[in-house]
Amino acid sequence: MISKNTIDNVYERSRVEEVIGDFISLKKSGTNYKGLSPFTQERTPSFMVSPVKQIWKDFSSGKGGNVVAFLMEHEHFTYPEAIKYLAKKYNIEIEETIQTDESKRLESQRESMFLVVNFASNFFHETLLNTSEGKNIAKTYFSERGISDKSIKDFSLGFSPEKDDSFALHALKNEYNKDFLDKTGLVIYNKNKGIDRFRGRIIFPIKSISGRIQGFGARLISEKSKKPKYLNSIESEIYQKSKILYGIYESKQAIAKNDLCYLVEGYTDVIQLHQSNIKNVVSSSGTALSIDQIRMIGRLTSNIVVLFDGDDAGLRASLRGIDLILEQEMNVKICVFPKGEDPDSYARNHTEDQIVDFLQKQTKDFIQFKASLLADNNVSDPIKKAETTKEIIHSISKIPDLVKQEIYIQSCSEIMNISEETLFASLEQLKQKKDKPAFRRSAQSFSLDKRVAYPSEKIDKAYELEKQIISILIHYGNYDANFDEIILRSSEKGELIEDIKKISLKVYEKIFLDLQQDEVELTNDSFRKIFNKLLESYQVKKSNDYGIEELMKDNDINLNKVITDILIDDERYYLHNWEKKNIFVKNKVNQISRYVDETILNLRRYLIDQKIEELQLKVRESEDNKDLLEEILSYSQLKKVLSERLNRVL
């Protein structure tokens, strides 16, 4: 049995557009890629790949899923075979294990740690917003730094009180286990007394690409204190500093859309640029850039611009580490802010247009920038110039693409005034010869005269309505909305009358309460599994995204297809540029309460129709059917009320 650690590594490292691109030709289309279906014969693209969501959908055949599902469908691999194929492609060592009681315990422990840090994040955020200490100290600090209330909410910023054990006592009061408070580093225990690690600091929650809080960065506000200015969560099962990027969750859509990622150093750099509407930005959180961080960006784009302040010493030190980016086949550029400025201060003191203009004009190709910088400093010293040349060649040797290598050699030859022949000879000495297996693309032949005819299928109303409920939960489950609560009563004449009362609920609460009231359970197995997982997420973990990525790792092809259909459904409108034809898709977010009401009412009406059909069948089979007819009449009246209500909603 392949270990969960291996499977997680495979999903983390794999890029769906990269793997599928080994088999079919894909073209960039907005934030997505499109191509001809490998499962049907067609002339116009109906196959779509979403790098942000890491899923694919073939609208012509109805198939879809994640990267593993594609290999199972296209190459007819089993689930283990697909995992092993990807592990080989991405040079991941395969661990095989038996699921012991101990491994189950460790997995449960990991989930418990996620629960604890999520609880802590809510505590810190509420402390900032709703306590006098939070408002007077942290809120004032953020205000002075130009960080808006919207950013405080969007990035879930918080504050840990000065008191030694405020969070520790609050967590224990809410029955959180001391072991997990200790393992996550949130509380430091000394002789059984718990001390808050982040006391007296502003808090920056750090989220995974799927939105789960993994740990925290914390900054001391007082400049007089002798304590460390910055403090991070300790390394743990859920937080490894080399594998996180601050802002990746908030920025992933913009990175994919712009096909570009700005890389900065600090938390406030990310926040200030977001406030200036530059949202394709992440932070390495002050650590040396790691391969895992680069690969995380690589899931969304191949283009990185590294933003530096004007500190020459820091710049040169950082340049030595950026060769890793080139090694990962990424395109790297660099932008240096004026002396005394960093992304945070520059964004605070300039308009959005000025920032955009600066980034466009000052961003330079990394290799050329490095050559110019080193050449300017050492041009008069032959020995230093030789060392500089070797350093530049070393960077060029990291680039796997031979064409790019030659272009950079030509450019550096001009900058350094050294012949291309000499530079190529130096490059050859450094090169390590690695033979990479070439992937063969699947041959595809398309008949221009043949058209595939698909039989029309009868619509399964129950399936479509249940699917719509799951779609609402996935996309809008944690949204707040105002709903009309309908209370039915009988008039003196025996007619049904509805009273309407306005209520404010989370979308998931509205759906859950309505289904419970009607004693309805979803009939489709996949929908029921997703429904229960999402409710657990919203009710217990208070998270928007947890559940989907984990569910997509399931080796159930049908489950993968269902989730993909829901996640990528709206993308089909962009395959053929509907907006250019003046066909616009309604934004459901602006009408969420109406959308929920419409779905629930349609489901109720469908269930009533089913009940009436069932009673009518009994009438035909029964001799004494007075009670049955009265029941049919009662349901018919209820259906009429629901139909009138539905017409008003529509």
Q: Tell the residue number behind the tokens 């196959």, with chain if given.
A: 47
87 with 94: CB under 8 angstroms?
A: yes
For the chain, what's the residue count?
650
The CATH code for residues 241-362 is 3.40.1360.10
> What is the model's pLDDT at position 364?
87
Token pair for 461: 């109303």
Q: How would you label 455-477 residue by residue, b for 16+ Cβ within 10 Å and e otherwise?
A: eeeeeeebeebbbbbbbbbbbbb
Contacts of 642 (CB under 8 A, 6+ apart): 601, 604, 605, 608
Choice among 289-293, 424-428, 573-577, 594-598 with the minimum mean pLDDT:
573-577
Which of the following CATH numbers is that of domain 4-89: 3.40.50.2300, 3.20.20.140, 1.10.10.10, 3.90.580.10?
3.90.580.10
Phi, psi of 484 (to 5 degrees): -95, 115
Of residues 589 and 536, the one with the higher pLDDT is 536
User: How, if at all, do strands 480-490 and 364-365 pair?
Assistant: unpaired
Q: Confidence band (pLDDT; 50, 70, 90) for 444?
A: very low
Which tens digit of pLDDT belongs to each residue from 416-443?
788 888 888 888 877 654 444 433 333 3
576 with 44: CB under 8 angstroms?
A: yes
Q: Tell the residue number behind the tokens 């009138």, with chain if given.
A: 644
> What is the model's pLDDT at position 437?
41
- Separation CA 598–CA 603 (nearest Å): 9
Name the CATH superfamily, with its identifier, for domain 364-433: DnaG, RNA polymerase domain, helical bundle (1.20.50.20)
Rounded mean pLDDT of 139-144?
A: 93
User: How, if at all, do strands 303-308 and 261-264 pair?
Assistant: parallel
DSSP letter at 96 equals B
Most confident range, picked from 34-38, 98-102, 141-145: 141-145
Token pair for 599: 């779905």
Check whether 317 has a pLDDT greater than 50. Answer: yes
> What is the model's pLDDT at position 107?
67
331 with 260: CB under 8 angstroms?
A: no
The Cα-based distances of 647 to 483, 496, 502, 601 in angstroms read 16, 17, 19, 10
Q: How do the domains of the chain map onto residue ranges?
A: 4-89, 113-239, 241-362, 364-433, 461-553+586-649
Which tens digit of pLDDT belongs to each residue from 368-380?
787 666 656 555 6
Q: 3-state class of 606 per DSSP? A: helix
Fold of the CATH domain 113-239: DNA primase DNAg catalytic core, N-terminal domain (3.90.980)
Question: Which amino acid is present at 171?
Answer: A
Which tens digit of pLDDT belongs to each residue from 402-415?
888 888 888 888 87
- 578-583: long-range pairs with CB below 8 Å, 24+: none
Check whether 190 has a pLDDT greater than 90. Answer: no
DSSP letter at 503 equals E
- Separation CA 448–CA 465 (nearest Å): 38
- Residue 212 Cα to chain centre, angstroms: 9
